[in-house]
Amino acid sequence: MKPRYTLFIAISIVGILIDQITKTVIDRTMQQFESIPIIVNFFNLTYVRNKGAAFSFLSNASWRLPFFITISFIAALVILIAFHRLRDDQRLAHVSLAMIFSGAVGNLIDRIRLGEVIDFLDVHWYLHHWPAFNVADSLICVGVFLLAVDMILEEKRLKKV
């Protein structure tokens, strides 16, 4: 097996495990809507459940669950296809797609298991809160950022050729 596939599998497994373990710990040790200040006026652990997508998008739609499960499966498949098409030297893209994949699968597991996603990372400035999120969401965001960086670097590499 090529090293890039080993890397993808390792990052995916570690990302999914960290996501699921943190959600399980929050679910078992906190009551829903309970909040624990970690950095006063900036960061709390706050246990909430999200039936929708980002910012609770479509949380009240009756068809939301099959829709989000289907979209997650399609996204995971597209990521695997895109990863397979990468060159061996595109290491940053390998890492970023593995992070995005593990985040998508982590939230997919919640949707299948619970019908909603457990969120608990609450970043805020005094009373101004960003919507709570989780490790899977963080993996997706960081992965997308790294993928954008890789695309810029790839464009520069191609211009040099």
- What residues are annotated to the active site? 119, 137
Closest residue by Cα to residue 135 from 14, 39, 42 = 14
Structure tokens at 75: 């996204």
Angle made by CA atoms 67, 96, 6, in degrees to the nearest 5: 100
Structure tokens at 129: 């809160």
Q: Are 93 and 7 in contact (CB under 8 A)?
A: no
Spatial distance between the Cα atoms of 54 and 57, rounded to a whole number of angstroms:
6
Q: What share of the chain is helix, strand, coil (3-state, %, to 5)?
A: 65, 15, 20
Spatial distance between the Cα atoms of 88 and 1, rounded to a whole number of angstroms:
12
